[in-house]
Each structure stands twice: as structure tokens, then as C-alpha cells.
């Protein structure tokens, strides 16, 4: 259908976005790779020299690196667990006939629109603060000792905050998938005597498989790079207990001014982020074409 | 055929859903309420829910002490600016991919999506240093550039999924009638594409408004949008819950309202059209 004329026009029309994205992908990455082989500290300008793989060996043998990797994965897995399970349950609930369904839906999706710095600070101060927070008050009124959330379970606290932000996204997508389920199929199963559980596991869950995959894939991309929530609550601490890879690289570069070491860390982060989800880019694409 | 539902079951579901929904929403509600309290009421124990001395003092103070409107207008300029520039760049390419697809189109789309897989820390250091040497740190122009680039793949994908739904026959007909490419775009495509473009615009403004990696790293004060402005409350002096709440309410209210309007497009946009 496309003539030669339109084809070259099409190429011209695509050029700006393709070239810009190409530049955005290649230039910073090439520079990061280049820096990662230099001994380069912002406090000692003009002293840059070739350092071989020493930045990598420094970064990869730093115990902080392994803590950061573990924390990164814990955040991803923890938030995914809460949001996927919670999202399915909320979607099932919201799919039931009820009064004021639209309003409940609006209430549930609201956290998604709250900027990360606001949600982190509100949770940290007004809920999780061991003296003035609401959680502390609830604990005290039941006669328990309040928990100092960010001192004793910093990573878990961050997981809760991030999960609160992503639960709406999961719920909304699961609900959209659920509502596309054929009502008659459920009825047929009921007539065959299927109980609530077998209906859920044999009809509803398989139907939602694609939505679940999409939620996991898209959230993983964002969750690997959680940053603001850590910066405004714990600064990665106490110690490095809540430092993830993104925060570690940030701290190395902009707090310690070690450009070489941080660049090596950045490259490690890029490689890690690409190992898991990269092959799955096609999966989203496949779903799109269907 | 609608199934019969007993009123009792419906009432029970209503109660459960409202309780859980309000629990999820509670932090936002609580922030809103606290923003009207005095600092003393904000930390009162037991907590004051409605029967406290309502005051607008915090809003005045947030504006007079830290110039909220400056940061608000930075947020507006940065999110609208990056989205509009992104749309200008993306519309032609999404149009080309939807209506003149080649064998490579799918690969190009996949590749664009894969640029989103790159963790931002991989680019942080060079961008920071480049910005430093070009004097772009803490500038709105710099931030607009970065946010345009990070949201460009999403904009292209969203537009592509919307454009694909426009029937090609209409374009063929226009072409047969001798419409040129430009006329085709202006008179045939644009009217049909406006709803898709509008929801792309809306979703990307929301994403850019709430973006908190680049904004926090590349701005400090002059060009700081609301994300960075709120982050300054992480090292508070004295009592500050009510002021934090007022600042937070003002930071999230505009986008919360926009977001509620866009909830349908949200699913589609954020899943790149995979879930509709």
C-alpha cells in the first residue's frame, strides 16, 4: 500500500524521534563506560588517568555492593508481591456489585498520582514517626511499644510506601482485565457446579495471566530504580541498610565525587537491569499486537 | 443477562469496599485535614480528626516562606513543556509507523521501549557533568530536555496504539481524492487523532509532574519543581507537620484531579496498549 513516496516521507517523519533516542541511549552510556575506566574524582580535577578495571574490582568487591543488590531485589520482590496479590484482591472486590463503585475506585487509584517525595515524607512523618506518628498512637492505645520504623525496619518501611504507590496501578489493570471476562463463561462454570475457588483458579486467574505479566514487567522497570523514597526518608541508612543500587551509585558520584567508581556501578546497574527484563520487552510487544 | 444479586450481599460488599478504599485513601485525606490544623493540633494525642481549630495559616506560611508559586510554575513549565515538545517530535513518527509500516517498524518500536529499560543511574553521571559544563544544572530548559527524552518512548507508543485504530481506508479515500500528505494529516487524521493525542498529553503531564529522579538530581532551588521543593521538608526545623501537609496538598491536588479524569487512559497508556 505504501508507495515509494510515502515510504521516504515516513522515514523522514520518524527520523527526529529515532535520532534523539539513539543519542540519548548511546552518548550517556558511552560516556559512563569511558568514565568507568578512569581514576576520576571531582575533588581532584585534572588528575584523571586510565585505571583499567580497578573501578570495577573496587565496586564489585565492596560489601556495600552486595547489600545494595540484595536491597534492590528485596524492594522489587516485596513490592511486586504486595501489589500483585493486593491488586487481584482489590480488583475482585471492585468487580462485585455495590453502591458507589465509581467513588471507591477513585479512592483506590488516588495514591498513584501522589508524587514520590510527598508520599514518602507523609508516611515517614505522619504515620511512621515513633513519637508523633499515627501508627505509634495506635500501638500505644493498644498498649504496645511503638516501632521506630525507619530505625529498625528501614527497608520494609520503604517497601510499604512504594507498594502503597503502586497498588492502584496493579488494581486498575487487574480490574480492566477482569471486566473483559465473559460473564457467560462464569455462569456456565457455576451451572457445572464450580465453587468460588475453582472458578477463581480455573477461569479468572488464567484470564488475568496477561494482565499480571504486564503489571510485573512494567513495575519491575520502575522498581529497580526506586530513588526519591530512599533519598527523603533514610538517605540509604541506617548505615547502608536501605541503600539500593541506584542510591549507591548516586551517593558514590554526587556525595563522594568518585566519578570513576560510580560509573562502574552505573554500568553494573545497566547490565543487571537488562539481564532480567530485556528478553521480555518482546513480551509486552507481543501482547500489544494480539 | 444480568445475574440476580441479593441486596444483602450488595450491602456487605459495599461496606467492605468502602472501608478498604478509605484505608488506601486515608494518607491523602489525613494530609489534607492536617494542612488546616495548627502545628500543635497536628501532633496532638489522641489525633484530632475534625474537631480542631481550622486555619489557613499553613498555606500562607508555605507561600510566604518558601515561595510555593515559583515551584508550582516550574512544575507547570517543566511538565507541560516536556510533554508538548515530546508530542511534536512523536506525532510524525507515530503516524508514520501506524500508517506506513515497514518490516522494521516493530523492531523500531521494541527498541524505543528498550530505552526505557535503561536505569537512570546509567546516564546520571554524564548528564550531570554535561549539564555542569553547559551551565544547565538547576535550569528549566535542561530538565525539559531530559524529561522529553525519557518520556518520548511512552508518547510514541501511546500515540501509535491510538493511531492504529484509525481505519486506513479513510486515508486511502482521502489519497484517492488527491489529498497531499500534509492535507491528509491536517484534515483527515488530526480530527480523528485528537482524543488519542489528548489522553497521551494528559498521562505524560502526570508522569512528568511526578518524576522524581532527574528533578531531584538536576535541580536545587531556582528551577526546582514541586518534587524537589517537597524534598526540602526532609530536614525539618521544629514543628512542621501542618506545613508539610499544606505544601503536600498543594503539590498533589492539581495532578490528582487531572489523574481522576484520566483513569481510563491510564491503563492503556501505561501498559503500552497491552491492556485495554
Q: What is the ipTM of this complex?
A: 0.88
pLDDT of residue B1: 43
| Minimal C-alpha gap between A96 and chain B (Å) | 7
The domain A57-289 is placed in CATH, from the list 3.40.50.620, 3.90.1310.10, 1.10.3720.10, 1.10.30.50, at 1.10.3720.10
User: Cα(A89)–Cα(A105) distance, rounded to whole angstroms?
Assistant: 13
pLDDT of residue B237: 65
Residues in A closer than 8 angstroms to B17, CB to CB, are 93-94, 96, 98, 101, 104
Would you call A141 exposed, middle or buried from its count of C-beta atoms within 10 A (0-12, 13-18, 19+)?
A: exposed
Query: In this predicted model, what pLDDT tens digit does every residue of A194-210 receive, in sequence order?
Result: 788 888 888 888 888 88
pLDDT at B22 over 70: yes
| Minimal C-alpha gap between B223 and chain A (Å) | 17
Question: For residue B227, what is the nearest residue in chain A, using CA coordinates?
Answer: A117
Question: For residue B253, what is the nearest residue in chain A, using CA coordinates?
Answer: A114
Query: In this predicted model, what pLDDT tens digit does every residue of A97-142 receive, in sequence order?
Result: 888 888 999 999 999 999 999 999 999 988 998 888 889 889 988 9
Q: Are strands A49-50 and A38-39 parallel, antiparallel or unpaired?
A: antiparallel
pLDDT of residue A278: 45
Residues in A closer than 8 angstroms to B130, CB to CB, are 31
Q: Which residue stretches of chain A are H helix?
A: 4-36, 54-61, 63-94, 101-109, 116-122, 134-141, 149-152, 154-179, 183-191, 196-199, 205-223, 228-233, 245-250, 259-275, 281-289
User: Cα(A24)–Cα(B152) distance, rounded to whole angstroms?
Assistant: 11
**Cβ contact, residue pair B210, A115, below 8 Å:** yes
Beta carbons within 10 angstroms of residue B191's beta carbon: 9
3-class SS at A146?
coil
Q: Answer for the pair A32, A264: CB distance below 8 angstroms, yes or no.
A: no
What domains can you pick out in chain B, each with its CATH number?
Answer: 7-55 (no CATH), 58-270 (1.10.3720.10)
pLDDT of residue A1: 47
DSSP for B67-83, written as a single string: -HHHHHHHHHHHHHHHH
**Cβ contact, residue pair B110, A282, below 8 Å:** yes
Closest to B156 measured CA to CA, from A18, A212, A259, A120: A18
**Cβ contact, residue pair B21, A99, below 8 Å:** no
Closest to A146 measured CA to CA, from A158, A164, A133, A161: A133
Phi, psi torsion values for A70, nearest 5 degrees: -60, -45
Residue-averaged pLDDT of chain B? 86
pLDDT of residue A15: 87
- Secondary structure of A36-82 as H, E, C letters: HCEECECCCCCCCEECCCHHHHHHHHCHHHHHHHHHHHHHHHHHHHH
Beta carbons within 10 angstroms of residue A148's beta carbon: 16
Give the pTM. 0.89
Give the closest of A14, A27, A106 to B96, CB-based.
A14
Residue matched to cell numbers 514520590: A116
Q: How confident is residue A5, by pLDDT bands cut at 50, 70 and 90?
A: low
Query: In this predicted model, what pLDDT tens digit does every residue of B225-273 receive, in sequence order?
Result: 999 999 988 876 667 889 999 999 999 999 998 888 877 777 777 777 6
Q: Answer for the pair A170, A86: CB distance below 8 angstroms, yes or no.
A: yes
User: Cα(A213)–Cα(A172) distance, rounded to whole angstroms?
Assistant: 14
Amino acid at each position: 500500500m505504501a508507495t515509494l513516496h510515502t515510504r521516504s516521507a515516513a522515514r523522514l517523519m520518524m527520523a527526529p524521534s529515532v535520532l534523539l533516542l539513539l543519542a540519548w541511549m548511546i552518548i550517556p552510556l558511552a560516556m559512563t563506560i569511558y568514565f568507568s575506566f578512569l581514576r576520576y574524582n571531582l575533588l581532584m580535577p585534572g588528575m584523571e588517568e586510565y585505571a583499567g578495571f580497578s573501578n570495577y574490582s573496587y565496586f564489585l568487591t565492596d560489601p556495600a555492593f552486595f547489600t545494595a543488590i540484595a536491597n534492590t531485589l528485596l524492594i522489587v520482590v516485596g513490592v511486586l508481591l504486595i501489589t500483585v496479590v493486593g491488586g487481584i484482591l482489590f480488583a475482585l472486590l471492585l468487580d462485585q456489585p455495590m453502591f458507589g463503585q465509581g467513588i471507591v475506585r477513585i479512592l483506590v487509584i488516588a495514591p498513584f498520582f501522589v508524587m514520590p517525595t510527598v508520599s514518602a515524607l507523609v508516611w515517614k512523618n505522619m504515620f511512621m514517626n515513633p513519637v508523633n506518628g499515627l501508627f505509634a498512637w495506635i500501638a500505644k492505645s493498644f498498649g504496645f511499644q511503638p516501632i521506630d520504623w525507619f530505625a529498625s525496619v528501614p527497608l520494609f518501611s520503604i517497601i510499604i510506601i512504594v507498594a502503597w504507590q503502586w497498588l492502584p496501578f496493579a488494581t486498575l489493570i487487574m480490574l480492566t482485565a477482569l471486566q473483559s471476562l465473559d460473564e457467560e463463561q462464569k455462569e456456565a462454570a457455576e451451572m457445572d457446579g464450580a465453587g468460588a475457588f475453582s472458578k477463581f483458579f480455573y477461569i479468572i486467574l488464567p484470564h488475568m495471566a496477561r494482565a499480571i505479566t504486564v503489571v510485573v514487567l512494567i513495575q519491575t522497570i520502575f522498581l529497580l530504580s526506586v530513588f526519591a523514597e530512599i533519598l527523603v526518608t533514610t538517605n540509604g541508612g541506617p548505615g547502608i541498610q536501605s541503600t539500593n543500587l541506584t542510591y549507591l551509585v548516586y551517593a558514590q558520584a554526587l556525595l563522594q565525587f568518585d566519578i570513576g567508581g560510580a560509573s562502574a556501578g552505573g554500568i553494573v546497574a545497566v547490565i543487571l537491569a537488562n539481564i532480567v527484563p530485556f528478553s521480555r520487552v518482546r513480551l509486552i510487544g507481543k501482547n500489544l499486537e494480539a | 443477562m444480568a445475574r440476580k444479586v441479593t441486596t444483602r450481599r450488595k450491602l456487605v460488599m459495599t461496606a467492605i469496599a468502602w472501608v478498604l478504599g478509605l484505608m488506601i485513601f486515608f494518607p491523602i485525606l489525613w494530609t489534607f485535614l492536617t494542612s488546616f490544623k495548627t502545628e500543635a493540633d497536628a501532633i496532638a494525642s489522641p489525633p484530632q480528626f475534625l474537631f480542631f481549630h481550622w486555619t489557613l495559616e499553613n498555606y500562607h506560611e508555605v507561600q510566604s516562606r518558601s515561595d510555593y508559586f515559583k515551584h508550582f510554575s516550574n512544575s507547570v513549565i517543566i511538565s507541560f513543556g516536556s510533554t508538548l515538545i515530546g508530542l511534536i517530535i512523536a506525532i510524525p513518527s507515530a503516524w508514520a509507523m501506524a500508517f506506513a509500516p515497514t518490516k522494521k517498524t516493530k523492531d523500531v518500536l521494541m527498541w524505543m521501549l528498550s530505552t526505557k529499560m535503561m536505569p537512570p543511574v546509567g546516564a546520571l553521571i554524564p548528564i550531570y557533568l554535561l549539564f555542569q559544563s553547559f551551565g544547565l544544572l538547576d535550569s528549566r530548559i535542561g530538565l525539559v530536555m531530559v524529561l522529553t527524552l525519557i518520556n518520548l518512548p511512552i508518547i510514541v507508543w501511546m500515540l501509535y496504539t491510538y493511531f492504529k485504530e484509525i481505519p486506513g481506508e479513510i486515508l486511502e479515500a482521502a489519497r484517492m481524492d488527491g489529498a497531499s500528505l500534509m492535507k491528509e494529516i491536517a484534515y483527515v487524521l488530526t480530527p480523528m487523532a485528537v482524543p488519542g493525542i489528548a489522553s497521551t498529553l494528559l498521562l505524560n503531564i502526570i508522569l512528568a509532574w511526578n518524576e522524581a529522579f532527574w528533578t531531584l538530581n538536576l535541580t536545587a532551588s531556582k528551577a526546582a519543581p514541586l518534587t524537589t521543593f517537597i524534598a526540602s521538608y526532609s530536614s525539618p526545623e521544629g514543628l512542621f507537620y501542618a506545613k508539610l501537609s499544606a505544601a503536600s496538598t498543594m503539590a498533589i491536588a492539581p495532578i490528582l484531579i487531572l489523574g481522576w479524569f484520566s483513569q481510563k487512559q491510564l491503563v492503556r497508556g501505561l501498559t503500552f496498549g497491552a491492556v485495554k
